[in-house]
Structure 1
Amino acid sequence: MTWSPVTMRWPAQATEWMGQLSAAQGLAGGELASTAKRLADLNGKTSTSPGPVGGAAGGAIAAGRAALADQMGEAPACLVVTPFQSGIGQGRGYQRFLSAPNLLQQMAGKLVDVSDTGRPDGPQFALCLMFLATRFDQLANSLARFNALLPMPDLVRTERRARHLSKLETEKWEIPAAGTLPRWQALPLERCTVVKAAQQSMAGQLAVLESYAADSSPMADLAALAGRKAAQQQGRDQQLADLKALLADGNPDSSMRARLIGPGNATELRQALLAGDAPGHEWVLCAGALLVGSEKGLSFVRELVGL
């Protein structure tokens, strides 16, 4: 066996199938011109008639939009406190901790922090959420259940960091198997300039022909559109039904605590937040969210958390 010199050339045998496209491409060009002429001839000869659904649904649409704006239009002020925020948690390095009483103190202090320009003012209600845990995996699981329904950016980041820290604690004792080098891997053809340009050109020609192969009559297109609209409506109804079923008959989650206080100004809300029995220092790894707004603005979240 001898080593042959490398000669870069176009793979003519591998792409000889492209010659079979020329007849179809010529037919496609003629069909395009014929279709344009037929559409021009139909101008002014056809008309459409809207169905009765639009007029009948007008009142329901207006009422639904008004109810949705009334329910969701007023966004409450939100404060999220996590142990990973700068100056909040205790500990060194990546290991940060925040007990439940200290969490309440942090949220109560932000209610009367006059240096924060975003602090809500005036008589309002406050909804306090606490996520209690003693380990990083517990905190991540608790936040994951809440973020699946009402994600908040700070809580999502806290969930990810707690998940990574829990994984680090588990995997740092594992010794990976490196294996022997070199290893088999796929040839990265997508990085080859010639292959990339050829693939784009051939894929473009195939896409043009596929558009003609998928051609159908206008009546068939309208029937397919009606079918898709019906399927979309059924899908939306099923999605809402699944969400209601998921939230129906839920079991109490001891790792999440919620409380509604108010009405009152910032000082009164702070006093009410610190009053009463609260989780103790045995919960060493906690996060919380404080929502402040009107009773109507908090109604959706309040009902979502079971208050």
Structure 2
Amino acid sequence: MTWSPITMRWPAQSTSWLGDLDAAKALAATELASTGQRLSGLADIATTAPGPVGEAAQGAVAAGHSALAAQLGQVPACLVITPFQSGIGQGRGHQKYLSAPNLLQQLASKLTDVGDSARPAGEQYALAVMFLGTRYDQFADTLGRFNALLPIPDLVRTERRARHLSTLEQEKWVIPSAGALPRWGALPLERCTVVKAAKQSMAGQIAALESYADSSPMADLAGLAGRKAEKARARDKKLADLQALLAGGQADGSMRARLIGPGSPADLRRDLLQGDAPGHEWVLSAGVLLVGSREGLSFVRELVGL
């Protein structure tokens, strides 16, 4: 057998079904124009009435916005210290370490850092949270439990890096086995220029034809209301499950928190360094220091059980 030369051409037989839709496309365009005229005629006739729920709903919405504004109106200043920040952790290469006492010194020094114009000032409270570990996988698990409730970008990046370092440490001695090449796969028809052009040409027309399928507007509205109610029940269940999970929580020794204040930054620094603190046996640690009013710290304070 010989190799035949290839001639690129339009697949007329494979795309013959496009011509079968010309009549339906013309009908859809006509009906769309007619529907627009009918809706314009109903603009002055059709009205909506919220009923007795409208006034109550407006009051609930106003109360909800007020509660959110009161809760989020006093956002505390936030400082995050992790081993992987430049100049913070000790170690070589990608592996960095930061013991708990050194973390505490870093947090305290930032309270009186005159080179940082964004440092807090005035009489305020401070909430310090420490995350402790001796191995990268344990450290990542501890951060993951906190990030599931209050994801702070620096802590999320630290969790991800610690997880990757733990995986690297476990898998660096594993020799992967690869099968013989090449391997079978599916033909990527979605990348074909003909297929992409046909999809782009017919997407809008198919949507217009589907809108004229035999259906009842009232049934569609009832289905929409049912779906919205189902989504509301799902959200309520998710919130209830989270509340039940947090209600049955146990003390986690790998996370420590402390509330100090009120006082000036110098006073907060002094109080933060006083008292018993985790020692150098915790070679991996990260910390969050929140400074603000007592009301502004109330949400996180309750979240960590203080």
- Normalised TM-score (structure 2): 0.93
CA distance 1:47–1:104, change in 2 (3 Å) = same
Q: Secondary structure at the match of 1:46?
A: coil
Residues 91-137 of structure 1, C-alpha deviations (whole Å, 9 max, x = no match): 11111110000000000111111111111011111111111001111
Q: CA RMSD in A?
A: 1.9
CA distance 1:222–1:203, change in 2 (3 Å) = closer
Distance 1:43 1:131 in 2: 61
CA distance 1:224–1:116, change in 2 (3 Å) = same
**Matching residue of 1:241:** 240
- State the AA in 2 paired with 1:4: S
TM alignment of 1:158-177, pairs within 5 A: 158-177=158-177
Distance 2:43 2:102 in 1: 74
CA distance 1:69–1:42, change in 2 (3 Å) = closer
**Matching residue of 1:99:** 99
- State the AA in 1 paired with 2:240: A
TM alignment of 1:266-305, pairs within 5 A: 266-305=265-304
In the alignment, structure 1 segments of 5+ residues that lack a partner are none
Q: C-alpha displacement at 1:72, in angstroms?
A: 1.9
Distance 1:43 1:141 in 2: 58
Confirm whether residue 306 of structure 1 aligns to residue 294 of structure 2.
Answer: no
**Matching residue of 1:224:** 223
Q: C-alpha displacement at 1:189, in angstroms?
A: 3.3
**Matching residue of 2:84:** 84
Confirm whether residue 252 of structure 1 aligns to residue 251 of structure 2.
Answer: yes
Q: C-alpha displacement at 1:218, in angstroms?
A: 4.1
More displaced stretch, 64-73 vs 111-120: 64-73
**Matching residue of 2:53:** 53
The number of residues matched between the two structures is 306
Q: C-alpha displacement at 1:4, in angstroms?
A: 2.4
Q: C-alpha displacement at 1:301, in angstroms?
A: 0.4
- Normalised TM-score (structure 1): 0.92
- State the AA in 2 paired with 1:273: L
**Matching residue of 1:183:** 183
Q: C-alpha displacement at 1:221, in angstroms?
A: 4.0
Residues 42-63 of structure 1, C-alpha deviations (whole Å, 9 max, x = no match): 3433322222112123333333
Q: How many percent identity over aligned positions?
A: 73
Q: C-alpha displacement at 1:217, in angstroms?
A: 4.5
- State the AA in 1 paired with 2:262: P
More displaced stretch, 170-179 vs 5-14: 5-14
**Matching residue of 2:155:** 155
Distance 1:222 1:275 in 2: 64
Distance 2:186 2:218 in 1: 47
Q: Secondary structure at the match of 2:284?
A: coil
Distance 2:248 2:117 in 1: 41
**Matching residue of 2:75:** 75
Q: Secondary structure at the match of 2:165?
A: helix
Q: C-alpha displacement at 1:12, in angstroms?
A: 2.4
Q: Secondary structure at the match of 1:186?
A: coil
**Matching residue of 1:10:** 10
Distance 2:215 2:90 in 1: 67
TM alignment of 1:119-130, pairs within 5 A: 119-130=119-130
CA distance 1:269–1:92, change in 2 (3 Å) = same
Q: C-alpha displacement at 1:248, in angstroms?
A: 1.4
Q: Secondary structure at the match of 1:97?
A: coil
**Matching residue of 1:199:** 199
**Matching residue of 1:265:** 264
Q: Secondary structure at the match of 2:258?
A: strand
Q: Secondary structure at the match of 1:3?
A: coil
Distance 1:264 1:247 in 2: 32
